[in-house]
């Protein structure tokens, strides 16, 4: 499958839900990751991203409007020496804890399943990149229900060797829908990555549906010295 234009892909989809992009910059000097959240309910839209050192957490923009924090307040990004974890839920902590115990990304996610939010059963999407050298690897995963069955989980894993200018994009939903929003299907989408962090952040944000977008995180990680640059955009700020 040839790389697609992620910006056109997003512009044509009013509600992909939450999305993760991981890859390598066009110049080969940086590992790249991005994560965005969207929402249709008041509870989902009432969020901002807040940096906490090298980690990232969600926070209620207006605490008075927060009704159920269980699936909307979490750490989307946690770091460890030589690596970064990014997910759409509290499985970030599960992955982080397992890695500290010498276990793997896959070990961690085999203990988890999709979100308990019938009838959607929102998929849990996760990514990890280990970026010690230019020849780094990254993984993506999706945990989802089989045909909406709450007793049947699919756990899919994808591993990639980084290539300059190439990333992979996975999101929770195929498209908008009512009452059920169909879950993402198939492999993560290969996407072209070009330009610097500001260009990517602005282009991603402008490509998301203006009514449904909530927050965006983009990080470039220098593969020689481990230094990071991060951009956060919150609709509510």
Residue 211 predicted with pLDDT over 90: yes
Give me the mean pLDDT over the 41-59 stretch: 96
What does the pLDDT look like over 55-86, one tens digit per residue? 999 999 999 999 989 989 999 999 999 999 99
| pLDDT given at position 131 | 82
Please tell me the distance from the alpha carbon of residue 1 to that of residue 3, in angstroms, as a whole number. 7
pLDDT-derived band at 179 (thresholds 50, 70, 90) equals: confident
Query: Is a pLDDT exceeding 70 seen at residue 235?
Result: yes
pLDDT tens, 6-31?
999 999 999 999 999 999 999 999 99
Strand order in the sheet with 55-60: 47-52, 55-60, 77-80, 83-87, 124-130, 137-146, 149-161
């Amino acid at each position: 499958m040839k790389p697609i234009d992620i910006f056109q892909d997003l512009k044509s989809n009013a509600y992909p839900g939450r999305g993760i992009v991981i890859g390598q910059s066009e110049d080969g000097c940086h590992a790249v990751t991005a994560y965005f959240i969207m929402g249709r309910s008041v509870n989902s839209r009432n969020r901002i991203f807040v940096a906490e050192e090298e980690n990232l957490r969600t926070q209620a923009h207006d605490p008075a409007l927060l009704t159920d924090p269980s699936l909307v307040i979490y750490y989307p990004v946690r770091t460890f020496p030589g690596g970064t974890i990014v997910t759409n839920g509290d499985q970030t902590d599960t992955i982080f804890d397992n890695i500290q115990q010498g276990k793997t990304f896959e070990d961690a996610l085999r203990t988890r399943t999709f979100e308990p939010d019938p009838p959607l059963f929102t998929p849990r999407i996760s990514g990890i990149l280990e970026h010690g050298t230019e020849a780094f690897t990254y993984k993506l995963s999706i945990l989802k229900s089989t045909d909406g069955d709450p007793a049947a989980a699919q756990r899919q894993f994808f591993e990639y060797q980084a290539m300059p200018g190439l990333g992979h994009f996975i999101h929770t939903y195929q498209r908008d829908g009512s009452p059920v929003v169909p879950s993402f299907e198939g492999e993560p989408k290969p996407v072209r990555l070009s330009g610097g962090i500001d260009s990517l952040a602005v282009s991603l944000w402008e490509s998301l549906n203006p009514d449904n977008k909530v927050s965006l995180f983009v990080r470039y990680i220098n593969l020689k010295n481990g230094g990071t640059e991060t951009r956060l955009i919150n609709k509510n700020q």
